[in-house]
Structure 1
Amino acid sequence: MNPFDSTSQRPGSRTGTGVLDSLLTNCDQDTFAREVWGKRALLSKGASDFSDLFSGRAVDELISRRGLRSPFLRVAKDGSTLPTSSFTGPAGVGATIADQLDDTALWRQFDDGATLVLQALQRTWGPVGDFSARLGSELANPIQANAYITPPQNQGFDDHYDVHDVFVLQIEGTKRWVIHEPVLDSPLRDQPWTDRRDAVATAAAGEPYIDAVLEPGDALYLPRGWLHAATAQGEVSIHLTLGIHNRTRYAVAEQVVASVLANLRDDPRMRASLPLGIDAPDSADLDMVKEAILSAVPEADPYPDLARVHRSQARPGPLGPLAQHELLQNLTAETPLQLRDSLDARFDGSRLWTRVGWLEFSDEDLEHVRALVAARITTAGNLGVDLAERLVRAGVLVPVAH
């Protein structure tokens, strides 16, 4: 079964204007999909006001007050990443944590010209998390959000390429971006730029595809593989990078091969040992194996594993334990409820798969759950209070946001 076939199985799919064409680009979504996605860099001047997503005050709060640990920040200077020990330390009384961010050390590094990189902001800063979830839903690709805070006249990293697409959103200050075309189109995750240093350096010395200064509100899209380097201008620069972890045909091929191999386990010829004394197959054995693989390809079903990987690559929307407890304590037929965000809810027969697990339903309950998934907001009475309580306890339903 293909769990990706029906839009009713993917609640929350957006029609019309979304964040992509209203906030990130100066073209409509169809044009972006047809002419830009994965093909070329795109600079959109004055795309939107991003000040509600992130700010310098947010940077200071995250570094000085949130108790972040080292995986959520790295520091770069002169093209290299500094050791974690240079900007972390013990958390103090009451916490046995040795690698929390040391705000004094970070200030000194920043004052000395280092770029601060706040990583995985979709986990630590609410507005960025909500925005990333919406964009990920529109693109059907998981999003990671990083912030780059660069002192005036400094460059965090040398010319390089990423192995994922990115949107760059300029938040504060200005930054000059120099973009060159790829030396390797659409690189996979195990094909980093460091494997092609000489080619990257040669290409970066040529005529740029884009050479522009990004100002607050500007957005830049870079497909994976496109070379880039960025330098802050006369003031501190803050930009967000939304990394798109692209789903590729190669990843589909991996799942097809895995399905083929799983099917071949049931073939006694494949389980048989090679002839005694033979350390490699002869041509007859090799031909037989190839023929068996080709015969198994039409029966390969990669969709269950693709759906499992898709669910694992992002998190469901926020859920507050105390709010959930209060919801249960006061649940009545009139209680408004909503489907939890970013569940990636999909039906497979009488079963509902989500990022928080799967649930099996009777035919009667299944009809109500399908209506819930389509509408997203309901009342406990519409579902039946017992079914509503079950879905609240499972973390599928949450209080309606106000």
Structure 2
Amino acid sequence: MTLAPSRPAAAPVPGAAAGAAAPALRRAFGAAADSIATEHWNTRPLLVRAAQRSAQGGRADFDDLLSTADVDELLGPRALRTPFFTMVKDGVGLPRSAFTRSAVAGNQQLSDLPDSDGVARSFADGATIVLQALHRTWPPLAAFCADLAGELGHQCQVNVYVTPPGAQGFTPHHDTHDVVVLQVDGRKHWTIHPPAVELPLKSQPSKALGADPVGGREPVIDTVLEPGDALYLPRGWLHSARTTDERSVHLTVGLLATTWADVLSDAVAGAGREDVALRRALPLPGHELDVDAFRAAAARWLDGLDDAAVRRLVQRRRERAVPAEPVGALAQDATARSLAPATPLRPRRGLTSRLADAGERVELVLADRRVAFPAWVRPALEHALAAPVTSAQELADAGTGVDVEDAVVVLRRLLREHVLLPAGPA
């Protein structure tokens, strides 16, 4: 269901295939995910109810990503530390002493562990629990966020808001990044107004709009989200949310979009290499600035910036959108030591690499190093890096020019360099 006034369609997400919807988007929005790139991205909200997604064969809830029991586990046995959790009331953070405790770990004194009694008291008194950056600590959300970032080409983060009945965590405000709201438990009343600042940057927070950013305007969306509902909000849309007569748990997935201004900044960083006029120092104080000459040099450089150069800059940004998947040190070592012809391996998600010819050798170029191999194993490397799952036996059978024994050596090296990971139990 689309809830927004009619506006011109947004430009497609750069690089997105027309009509294509990725799995993480479909997990949240069902069939409506197909319309995000062309009708909603950076332009207008999208609301999809759990019943709509369920009728299309999708899962109705989001408990697989995070459940209420998971929240208690994170604040209890797992002892999530600050700043990964905090508490706020009426938009103001509570002092840490109200919800944290001290403990000793080894010879270290820790003072930022959750105090379950303090958390419970503050929650009962109307404070909202905020679990921050759970894409870094909770595996289901880490996987979902990485999938979403890979599909959108923009970095993602996840916060969780646990609000008691009849409470409001934050007053009307806008975010400086797009968000996807996934209602996990309970109900929450959302009121959403059009932007006061279109597509604000980080330097344009809503607090700069004053105490009343809404300014008496009528809301565009005024509705209650229930478990399994999903809402997309472009950055800048003013919003506030209040619980009804029951608690609410929702995920806020922040989409940290790369803008054309970011790409321009990347390009400008190398501008001096192209034109000596841009490398010249500014004149000393008291001497006239030749602004016209600067404009001419900048225009010359910009006109010479070809499409391929721009696309390379965009690709580098997109490659950084998905963090490299963590390596399981024990499983990695065990697999490398016991690697057999049939052992299944897979590429490490989020790791950027490419192959470069170097005479009689081929180099695997990683972000921080180059790994050299004999040139004749290049087909085997290409196959191992491209296949969703591979093995030494498959490399030998695929006509890559290596036998099983050589394939084991190549794959073991890729395991030791953390380029491939075990695709099954070690």
SS in 1 for 2:130: strand
Paired amino acid for 1:158: T
Alignment correspondent of 1:80:
92
1:145-180 deviation per Cα after TM superposition (whole angstroms, max 9, x unaligned): 111000001110000010111111111111111111
Change in Cα spacing, 1:390 to 1:148, as seen in structure 2 (3 Å) is: same
1:211 aligns with 2:227: no
Alignment correspondent of 1:90:
102
Per the TM alignment, residue 304 of structure 1 is displaced from its structure 2 partner at its CA by 6.0
Alignment correspondent of 2:27:
23
Paired amino acid for 1:240: L
Work out the CA distance in 1 between the residues paired with 2:243 and 2:377. 57
SS in 2 for 1:98: strand
Which of 244, 266, 270 in structure 2 is aligned with 1:255? 266
Which of 63, 66, 75 in structure 1 is aligned with 2:75? 63
1:197 aligns with 2:210: yes
1:207-228 deviation per Cα after TM superposition (whole angstroms, max 9, x unaligned): 1111111111110110000111
Per the TM alignment, residue 51 of structure 1 is displaced from its structure 2 partner at its CA by 1.4
Alignment correspondent of 2:324:
316
Work out the CA distance in 1 between the residues paired with 2:48 and 2:350. 28
Which of 381, 403, 410 in structure 2 is aligned with 1:369? 381
Alignment correspondent of 1:281:
288
* TM-score where L is the length of structure 2: 0.82
Change in Cα spacing, 1:122 to 1:152, as seen in structure 2 (3 Å) is: same
SS in 2 for 1:91: strand
1:357-392 deviation per Cα after TM superposition (whole angstroms, max 9, x unaligned): 554555433332222232121113417222211110
Change in Cα spacing, 1:110 to 1:258, as seen in structure 2 (3 Å) is: same
Q: Is the 8 A contact 1:171 1:216 kept in 2?
A: yes
1:282-329 deviation per Cα after TM superposition (whole angstroms, max 9, x unaligned): 4xx332232222222345546666555544454222321000110011
Per the TM alignment, residue 206 of structure 1 is displaced from its structure 2 partner at its CA by 2.2
Change in Cα spacing, 1:74 to 1:235, as seen in structure 2 (3 Å) is: same
Which of 175, 181, 191 in structure 2 is aligned with 1:178? 191
Work out the CA distance in 2 between the residues paired with 1:326 and 1:42. 46
Alignment correspondent of 1:271:
280
1:243-282 deviation per Cα after TM superposition (whole angstroms, max 9, x unaligned): 1111111111111211213444xx27843563xx643434
Work out the CA distance in 1 between the residues paired with 2:355 and 2:197. 39
Alignment correspondent of 1:398:
421
SS in 1 for 2:390: strand
Change in Cα spacing, 1:270 to 1:170, as seen in structure 2 (3 Å) is: closer
Per the TM alignment, residue 232 of structure 1 is displaced from its structure 2 partner at its CA by 1.1
Alignment correspondent of 2:44:
40
Work out the CA distance in 1 between the residues paired with 2:18 and 2:139. 21
Q: Is the 8 A contact 2:135 2:145 kept in 1?
A: yes
Alignment correspondent of 2:299:
294
1:49 aligns with 2:61: yes
Change in Cα spacing, 1:67 to 1:306, as seen in structure 2 (3 Å) is: farther
Work out the CA distance in 1 between the residues paired with 2:319 and 2:31. 30
1:38-57 deviation per Cα after TM superposition (whole angstroms, max 9, x unaligned): 11011101143211111111
Segments of structure 1 that go 5 or more residues without pairing to the other structure are 1-6, 8-12
Aligned-residue RMSD, C-alpha: 2.8
- Structure 1 residues 203-242: aligned runs within 5 Å: 205-242=216-253
Percent identity among equivalent residues?
Answer: 37
Q: Is the 8 A contact 2:186 2:247 kept in 1?
A: yes
Per the TM alignment, residue 182 of structure 1 is displaced from its structure 2 partner at its CA by 0.5
Paired amino acid for 1:365: V
Paired amino acid for 1:35: E
Change in Cα spacing, 1:237 to 1:133, as seen in structure 2 (3 Å) is: same
Change in Cα spacing, 1:389 to 1:211, as seen in structure 2 (3 Å) is: same
Change in Cα spacing, 1:163 to 1:355, as seen in structure 2 (3 Å) is: farther
Paired amino acid for 2:153: A
Q: Is the 8 A contact 1:380 1:388 kept in 2?
A: yes
Work out the CA distance in 1 between the residues paired with 2:325 and 2:91. 36
Work out the CA distance in 2 between the residues paired with 1:60 and 1:268. 61
1:127 aligns with 2:140: yes
Alignment correspondent of 2:8:
none
Q: Is the 8 A contact 1:311 1:355 kept in 2?
A: no
Alignment correspondent of 2:409:
386
Alignment correspondent of 2:9:
none
Segments of structure 2 that go 5 or more residues without pairing to the other structure are 1-14, 54-59, 396-401
Alignment correspondent of 2:123:
110
Q: Is the 8 A contact 1:255 1:302 kept in 2?
A: no
Matched positions, count:
384
Q: Is the 8 A contact 2:132 2:159 kept in 1?
A: yes
Indicate the larger mover: 348-357 or 250-259: 348-357
Work out the CA distance in 2 between the residues paired with 1:333 and 1:44. 47
Work out the CA distance in 2 between the residues paired with 1:351 and 1:163. 41
Change in Cα spacing, 1:101 to 1:293, as seen in structure 2 (3 Å) is: same
Paired amino acid for 2:238: L
1:333 aligns with 2:344: no
